[in-house]
Amino acid sequence: MEKLFYSCIAVGLAVPLFNLLMGAIGFSLDGILGALDLDFDVDGDGIFGGKFPVNLMTLSFAAVIFGAVGLLFFGRIPDAAAVCIALANALLGGYLLGRFVILPLKKNDSSALKAEQLEGRTGIVKMEIRSDFAGTITVLSSIGSKISYNALPAQGIEKIPVGAYVKVIRVSEDGKTCIVKPAAPQK
């Protein structure tokens, strides 16, 4: 029984680390194990309060909790009771991680500003903008986070240096590059 608990801890820690390592070299387990990324839709009025997420990270977290709680009670109470307590804690921990961390992160819109929302915003140049080379600007989203965008100067402007304030006058047709002109700093 002790080997089972240690194995669960090892696997629960190894899977996210392996996923992180594979992501660093450009390969992710999400594509292979996409079937484990499930959101079971349950009654929104009940204790679950909407979707019940189950994915690779919640399963790994639950495995670590199962192993740790199992080891905590191993040898102190009967094995069957230790497994039941460990399983209950693993389910609760996996649910709490999914409900209060994973679901809010999934609801977060990674592209906080749409192309039409960028027009008229003021940003700061982070990489020099030249007429022959797209630079980079950062713009504050509606929630106050900095988002980087590619930028080109408006017609007739040769270059805009790093640290200068710019105003987005339009976004390219493909929606990937801001056309900017120098602007006064916002206060």
Closest CA to 140 of 163, 171, 117: 117
Same domain, 67 and 158: no
Q: Which has more pLDDT, 161 or 102?
A: 161
Percent share of the chain, pLDDT over 70: 80
What is the domain count for the chain? 2
The per-residue pLDDT for 26 is 67
Which residues form the domain of 14? 2-107
The per-residue pLDDT for 42 is 41
Same domain, 10 and 88: yes
The per-residue pLDDT for 109 is 58
Angle between helices 56-73 and 2-24 (to 10 degrees): 150
Q: Which has more pLDDT, 42 or 20?
A: 20
Same domain, 74 and 161: no
Q: Dump pLDDT digits (tens) for 32-51.
A: 555 445 544 443 444 445 55
Name the token pair of 173.
Answer: 């047709």
Same domain, 102 and 149: no
The CATH number that applies at residue 134 is 2.40.50.140
Domain boundary among 107, 124, 146: 107
pTM of the predicted structure, to 2 decimals: 0.54
Domain boundary among 81, 107, 133: 107
Q: Does 187 map to a domain?
A: no
